[in-house]
Structure 1
Amino acid sequence: MPRFALKIEYDGRPFAGWQAQADQPSVQQAVETALGRLDSGFAAGARISAAGRTDAGVHATGQVAHADLKRDWDPFRLCEALNFHLKPSPVAVLVAARVGDSFHARFSATERRYLFRLMSRRAPATHLRGMVWQVQHALDCDAMRRGARMLIGHHDFTTFRSSICQAKSPLKTLDEIRIEERQIPHGREFRFHLRARSFLHNQVRSIVGTLERVGAGSWAPDRVGEALAARDRAACGPVCPPHGLYLTDVAYRADPFAE
């Protein structure tokens, strides 16, 4: 059966996360239902695999999944047909590509990139409601950057790991945390760009929630390093809400979508 890679964008607000669940809507279920409508080889109960199992409320602009189909589709026609059958769900297939049988959306990935959007202003979010995490107080970007530098590299991230994380090891290499500050009407937006081969469950939200405390002046930047060294979940700052988080890119040794 031919295998296809799909680059997927979605608004996570209506979904209980990426992963299919028996009694709640999921992004995976939406895509699988669309596939079942257009390819007879994709039978009921068939599964697709994704690079990252995003949580409820988390968005994506560059999720990657793969599916095995009966028909050897033209990738452009597959993409168009899927987007037709995905309506009206806030899910879109940006591009599809024929890949070899050895390609796996999750296990072949060499890098993942996440974006977290944090808005600082008094007035409530309107157009970006549900798409950013909003706080009403000012934030010190330089202080957050100083705290973030302590997390770069290979570390035991137990402090920044969910208690229900199923990863075998808390050891991860965080290659980049870049914090971008932007002016918005009557406020500021802070964009946290994080890059690693893989992440622990809730690692990004735990890191951003902790750095927000630094930006607010409740934590000194050095306390981030102390929390990391503690290897204790209780030493972590608050876990920020999911709706500011986006999976933006997944990299592979050979780009499956390269023309």
Structure 2
Amino acid sequence: MRNIALKLMYNGTAYHGWQVQKNDVTVCGTLERAIAMVCGGEAIHLTGCGRTDAGVHAECYVANFRTRSRIPVDRLPFAINTHTPEDIVVREALEVPEEFNAIGSCLKKEYTYRIYNSRIKNPFYVNRAYFYPKHLDEEFLNRAARAFEGTHDFAAVRSVGTDVKSTVRTVYYCYVTRQSDLLELKVCANGFLYNMVRAITGTVLYAAEGKLTPEDIPLILERGDRTAAGPTVPPGGLYLTKLWYEDERLNG
């Protein structure tokens, strides 16, 4: 059996998230069927680097599977891509050690949340960025975002849904930049809770609306009070944008 890692990207608009679900179309389920066709009908089980929710995108994603197929790894992306929709693309396939696991071996991840900040809507950002018509001060947003950096209990910015042993995570950076009408909130951590990035973004926007201050954020985290933090913003603006592994071939 070979252990194969895939580097891929996808537009998540049409999918009910990454994880296979019995009655919904998912990214993982779609890929598993495509890989099975390439690998002679083998039952394929993909392990992804994380669970992206319905409507969330990935510019960088890693998943691995085991197969008896001897098809060369350099041919796998082209073969798989002939059986996937246009919104899922395998960029590269690599043979990895038996013990490699896409989620367990991942050291840290970066997510980017995009906000289209303009008085007028843009049809090309529908399901690609969160439309916010009131002008936002990116320097103020950045100050609020920076308050999330460090090791904290992030229970105040997660949705109930997935049981975890601990809600403590380390955020290595969290900042906001602007390029014309597009704002980006980037956050890198050693792990993420359910809806954590979308709730962080909502809290930063709450600060911009005067509903709290950047200085309130550490206290909100300390208290673990979800009702004091901002709302969970829509999924279409969220992208998985960078991954780190010990095997640098998988970084991106």
* Global fold match (TM > 0.5): yes
CA distance in 1, matches of 2:73, 2:59: 19
Aligned length: 251
Which 10-residue stretch deviates more, 211-220 or 152-161? Answer: 211-220
Alignment partners' CA distance in 2, 1:12 and 1:31: 13
Other-structure match for 2:92: 95
Taking the aligned partners of 1:216 and 1:233, their CA distance within structure 2 comes to 18
C-alpha deviations, 1:44-100, integer Å up to 9, x for none? xx31100011000000011100011111332220011011111x3410001111111
User: What per-residue deviation string (whole Å, max 9, x for no partner) do you get for residues 195-236 of structure 1?
Assistant: 111111111000001101222333322222222122121121
User: Could you say what secondary structure the match of 1:40 adopts?
Assistant: coil
Task: Say if 2:152 and 2:168, in contact at 8 Å, map to a contact too.
Answer: yes
Map of 1:94-173 to 2, 5 A cutoff? 94-173=91-170
> What's the offset of the Cα at 1:254?
1.6
- Deviations 1:6-49 (CA, angstroms, capped at 9, x unpaired): 01111100000001111110000110010111102622xx3110
Structure 1 unpaired stretches of 5+: none
Q: Is the 8 A contact 2:12 2:58 kept in 1?
A: yes
The answer to whether the Cα contact below 8 Å between 1:147 and 1:225 also exists between their aligned partners in 2 is no
Once the two structures are TM-superposed, the CA of residue 256 in structure 1 deviates from its matched residue by 3.7
Distance 2:110 2:42 in 1: 30
What corresponds to 1:55 in structure 2? Answer: 53
Which aligned runs of 4 or more in structure 1 are off by greater than 6 angstroms? none
Alignment of 1:185-196 (within 5 A): 188-196=181-189
Whole-Å Cα distance in 2 between the matches of residues 225 and 141 of structure 1?
Answer: 20
Of 211, 219, 222 in structure 1, the residue corresponding to residue 212 of structure 2 is: 219
Question: Normalising by structure 2, what TM-score?
Answer: 0.95
The structure 1 residue matched to 2:237, chosen from 244, 248, 252, is 244
Aligned residue type for 2:20: A
- Aligned partners of 1:180 and 1:74: how far apart in 2? 42
Instruction: Report the counterpart of residue 229 of structure 1 in structure 2.
Output: 222
Segments of 5+ residues of structure 2 without an aligned counterpart are none
- Computed over aligned residues only, the root mean square deviation of the Cα atoms, in angstroms, reads 1.4
Q: Partners in 2 of 1:219 and 1:6 — Cα distance? A: 42
Counterpart Cα distance in 2 of 1:159 and 1:54: 20
